[in-house]
Structure 1
Amino acid sequence: MGRCNGRCTLVGFCCLQLVAALERQIFDFLGYQWAPILANFLHIMAVILGIFGTIQYRSRYLMMYAVWLVLWVGWNAFIICFYLEVGRLSQDRDFIMTFNTSLHRSWWMENGPGCLVTPVLNSQLAPEDHHVITVSGCLLDYQYIEVVSSATQIFLALFGFVYACYVSKVFLEEEDSFDFIGGFDSYGYQAPQKTSHLQLQPLYT
């Protein structure tokens, strides 16, 4: 029963990670942020691998899932530092998130709660095929929305890592204790007893 509880909890965390990653992927697509889109895609694949490994009792898949979660925590920590402009990181460097293919940033920058977007006409700052806008009145700035999203991903990843290690350990212990030849422990095996020789006598009709 305890083993089932661990597996069910891990599957539950994986499902939460999957929903959170899909939600994040949608908004990153709307913002044309190609680096997060690629990272989210790899994360979704890793979570699906973790679910499959949990259901199919594959400890190797769970180990791969756990290793990816370590990388995923590092990536989200970088996202938090990027939007808070920790150290030399700056949001003015668009190529970090968009591979220098567009000027778009977070989708929440223009569509956050309470945000009022005002276009600036005839601005000399805008390149060709782009426009300048001013955003005001936001109840929560877009960088803090991105930070909360990344912090949620880290929270789910930490719990997923702990349960992945636990369930993987349980699977390995079961594989070591199982006798693949007879299906039973060697202590329960009994050698066949020798039968005594019987004398054969002719049968008369």
Structure 2
Amino acid sequence: MAGLDAFAIKASGDLNPASARVSDISAAIGETVLTGALQADIAGQKPVVKGDFAIAQIDLDQFRAPPAPSGESAVAADGAPEAAAKSAPATAAARADSAPLDLSGLGALDADIGLTVGVLKGAGVEVRDADLSAVLQDGLLAVTLAELRAFGGSGGFALNAHQRDGRALVSGTARATWWIWRS
């Protein structure tokens, strides 16, 4: 994958029996740089994790494998020819489809993580000003994309998930605004 030869991470931190804090995080892979801070407090009944991160620009195309040279057959990640990999039974997928979704682990910790992305590009699409947060509190996960701009408009979504009486409950809302003007 072109451009991914360079990987670097630096941060400063503090660790004690009750908490861990990592600040001034700067992690770079290729031309993408993630900055932010993370802290975990473990003195209470359950861990509480808080973090705030930002990526100025990420080009997802840099993570794509280069196309196979013409005349060569495609090969799956496990080394099997692509055609054979596609025809193999999807036993893991079949099990996942029939198994109930277990969200009981959401109560193991509380967390509040934020991520802002200035520009996200890939496959000819460009998304701007994405503001994503994930809050996990007492077993309820709330993921919110407060804002994003793409295709000349804006949008966002909210997703909530938790487990009650052994059942996974997931709900969500989305909004989008695009102006179409023709003359």
TM superposition score normalised by structure 1: 0.18
TM superposition score normalised by structure 2: 0.19
Q: Which has the larger radius of gyration?
A: 1
Higher strand fraction (1 or 2): 2
Higher helix fraction (1 or 2): 1
